């Protein structure tokens, strides 16, 4: 049983069928969905199918005394973090703008003090009608988030223009962003254990520049020897690939790894921490910086310029180490060129969440993705990851999933974060 919940009000439009998939996607992410169907919506989807998918009672009529007794419209709203209206018909928008409360959907909307997200869908001429545009302007002025309908062919033959309900991934991203914005708590995203996520919408990060560091660094001892660590670069490379799939311009600064360069990504190959820092600084400005590299904390102060030879009876050479620059911390302190979102990774072997919370502060990161890299977890070098997302809002533990699923979830989260900031700025 989840404690995160939205109320989804489904209006009477042909696009109502998309809400069935939307309910599934929300449930996959651990978000409970209570559905209110308008009378017209019942012509397009049945309470039975909605109830089977949401695994909750479906609410259809204000005067359903049983439901009123068990859970009234006030409680419906009180127990939700967000009210979503999709598809919102011209009639529903008009009712909302006019403050009507003559059925369950409009009564919930009038009685709620929760954020409301509206996804209109209708014939393009109805959408462009001055009355609808007036109503939408009124709803926005009332603090309601209205998603622009998509442009395209309508169900009616020969009709095209703005009015389509956005596709499920876009609806999902808007809902996650609205939940993020509500800041009540951080959002627990989930994915199947083996799961490659279903793929990110190609435009999710369009126009954004994402900087990713990945892999280990090699710190020379002499021309043939170096200090290294066991990082494979799999998680960082997967994140770069997911960001590119979501339409971002991606600069991946990679230490020495045996992975191919991800498609569609600008890759800068480096060896040492100093080179990684220089490459990261030259890649700025960026909208997001994701620092997954396992940067060596120390380097040999004066590496040999020639191979250090061993001779019989001589003592082993002493290596004098000096601290490497902290790339994340330096970029996070780079003033106006600081990316607006800085995500660090924390590789720990014990007290994972506590150390990660410390790094969030000490490095001035916005989020830290923490993972337990004790040898028994098989995470370092493996294909799966079990991470905790640490933000100022608290710690979320994601289920164990593949590194590519972690990458996609993280990118979806970042897109939702940007979407919520954009909305807030408008």
For residues 394 and 350, what is the distance between their CA atoms, to the nearest angstrom?
18
347 binds ligand CTP (CB under 6 A): yes
Q: CB neighbours (10 Å) of residue 308?
A: 14
Q: CB neighbours (10 Å) of residue 20?
A: 18
Smallest gap from Cβ 330 to ligand CTP, in A, equals 8
**Of residues 191, 273, 300, 419, which one binds ligand CTP by CB under 6 A?**
273
Instruction: List the x/- string, 278-307, binding to ligand CTP by CB under 6 A.
Output: -------------x-x-x-x----------
390 binds ligand CTP (CB under 6 A): no
Smallest gap from Cβ 277 to ligand CTP, in A, equals 8
Tokens at residue 81, please?
């973090």
Q: Which of 400, 228, 414 is nearest to 339 (CA)?
A: 414
**Of residues 359, 403, 413, 417, which one binds ligand CTP by CB under 6 A?**
359
Q: Which of 186, 187, 215, 194 is nearest to 403 (CA)?
A: 194
Q: Which stretch binds ligand CTP (CB under 6 A): 34-42, 125-133, 169-177, 323-331?
A: 323-331
383 binds ligand CTP (CB under 6 A): no
For residues 9 and 298, what is the distance between their CA atoms, to the nearest angstrom?
56
Read off the DSSP letter of residue 216.
Answer: B
Closest CB to ligand CTP among 8 and 365?
365
Closest CB to ligand CTP among 11 and 289?
289
Number of amino acids touching ligand CTP (CB under 6 A):
15
Q: Which stretch binds ligand CTP (CB under 6 A): 127-135, 241-249, 311-319, 344-352?
A: 344-352
Closest CB to ligand CTP among 109 and 273?
273
Q: Are strands 145-146 and 150-153 parallel, antiparallel or unpaired?
A: unpaired
Whether 229 is a known active-site residue: answer yes
35 binds ligand CTP (CB under 6 A): no
Peptide bond into 5 cis (omega under 30): no
Q: Is the dihedral of CA 385, 275, 249, 356 positive or negative?
A: positive
Q: Could you say which of 55, 135, 229, 350 is catalytic?
A: 229
Task: Specify whether the CB–CB gap between 116 and 144 falls below 8 A.
Answer: yes
Instruction: List the x/- string, 74-103, binding to ligand CTP by CB under 6 A.
Output: ------------------------------
Residue ranges of E strands in 265-392: 266-269, 288-291, 298-300, 321-323, 341-348, 367-372, 384-385, 387-391
Closest CB to ligand CTP among 131 and 333?
333
Q: Which stretch binds ligand CTP (CB under 6 A): 150-158, 161-169, 321-329, 407-415?
A: 321-329
Helix or strand run (H / E) with residue 36 = strand 32-37
For residues 46 and 298, what is the distance between their CA atoms, to the nearest angstrom?
63
Tokens at residue 384, please?
């799966």
Closest CB to ligand CTP among 42 and 287?
287
239 binds ligand CTP (CB under 6 A): no
Q: CB neighbours (10 Å) of residue 182?
A: 14
Closest CB to ligand CTP among 242 and 327?
327
First and final C-alpha spacing in the chain = 36
418 binds ligand CTP (CB under 6 A): no
Q: Is the dihedral of CA 349, 353, 355, 360 positive or negative?
A: positive
Smallest gap from Cβ 380 to ligand CTP, in A, equals 12
Closest CB to ligand CTP among 53 and 343?
343
Closest CB to ligand CTP among 264 and 358?
358
227 binds ligand CTP (CB under 6 A): no
**Of residues 345, 367, 398, 418, which one binds ligand CTP by CB under 6 A?**
345
**Of residues 328, 341, 415, 416, which one binds ligand CTP by CB under 6 A?**
328
Instruction: List the x/- string, 186-225, binding to ligand CTP by CB under 6 A.
Output: ---------------------------x------------
Q: Which residues contact 422 (CB under 8 A, 6 or more apart)?
A: none
Burial per residue of 34-71, b for 16 or more beta-carbon CB atoms within 10 angstroms, e otherwise: bbbbbebbbebbeeeebeebbebbbbbebeeeebeeeb
33 binds ligand CTP (CB under 6 A): no
Tokens at residue 159, please?
């009709």
Q: Which residues contact 278 (CB under 8 A, 6 or more apart)?
A: none
Q: Which residues bind ligand CTP (CB under 6 A)?
A: 213, 273, 291, 293, 295, 297, 324, 326-328, 344-347, 359
Catalytic residues: 229
């Amino acid at each position: 049983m989840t404690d995160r919940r939205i109320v989804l009000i489904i209006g009477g439009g042909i696009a109502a069928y998309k809400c069935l998939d939307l309910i599934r996607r929300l449930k996959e992410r651990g978000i409970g969905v209570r559905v209110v169907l308008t009378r017209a919506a019942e012509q397009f989807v049945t309470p039975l199918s909605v109830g089977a998918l949401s695994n909750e009672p479906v609410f259809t009529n204000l005067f359903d005394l049983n439901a009123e007794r068990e859970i009234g419209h006030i409680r419906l709203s009180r127990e939700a973090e967000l009210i979503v209206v999709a598809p919102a018909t011209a009639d529903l928008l008009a009712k909302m703008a006019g403050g009507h409360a003559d059925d369950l959907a409009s009564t919930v909307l009038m009685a709620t003090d929760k954020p409301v997200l509206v996804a209109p869908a209708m014939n393009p001429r109805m959408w462009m009608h001055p009355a609808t545009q007036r109503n939408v302007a009124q709803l926005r002025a009332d603090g309601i988030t209205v998603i622009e309908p998509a442009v395209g062919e309508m169900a009616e033959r020969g009709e095209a223009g703005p009015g389509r309900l956005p596709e499920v991934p876009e609806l999902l991203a808007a809902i996650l962003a609205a939940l993020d914005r509500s800041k009540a708590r951080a959002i627990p995203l989930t994915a199947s254990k083996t799961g490659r996520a279903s793929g990110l919408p190609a435009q999710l990060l369009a126009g954004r520049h994402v900087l990713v560091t990945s892999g280990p660094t090699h710190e020379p001892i002499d021309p043939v020897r170096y200090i290294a660590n066991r990082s494979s670069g799999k998680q960082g490379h997967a994140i770069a690939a997911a960001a590119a799939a979501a339409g971002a311009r991606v600069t991946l600064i990679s230490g020495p790894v045996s992975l191919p360069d991800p498609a569609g990504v600008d890759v800068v190959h480096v060896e040492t921490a100093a080179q990684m820092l220089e490459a990261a600084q030259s890649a700025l400005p960026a909208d997001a910086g994701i620092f997954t590299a396992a940067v060596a904390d120390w380097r040999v102060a004066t590496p040999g310029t020639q191979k250090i030879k061993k001779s019989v009876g001589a003592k082993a050479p002493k290596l004098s180490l000096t601290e490497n620059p902290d790339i994340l911390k330096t970029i996070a302190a780079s003033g106006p060129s600081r990316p607006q979102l800085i995500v660090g990774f924390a590789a720990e072997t014990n007290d994972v969440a506590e150390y990660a919370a410390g790094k969030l502060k000490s490095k001035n990161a916005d989020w830290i993705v923490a993972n337990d890299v004790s040898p028994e977890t098989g995470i370092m070098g493996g294909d799966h990851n079990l991470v905790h997302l640490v933000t100022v809002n608290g710690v979320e533990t994601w289920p164990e999933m593949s590194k590519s699923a972690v990458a996609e979830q993280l990118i979806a989260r970042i897109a939702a974060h940007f979407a919520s900031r954009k909305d807030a700025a408008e």
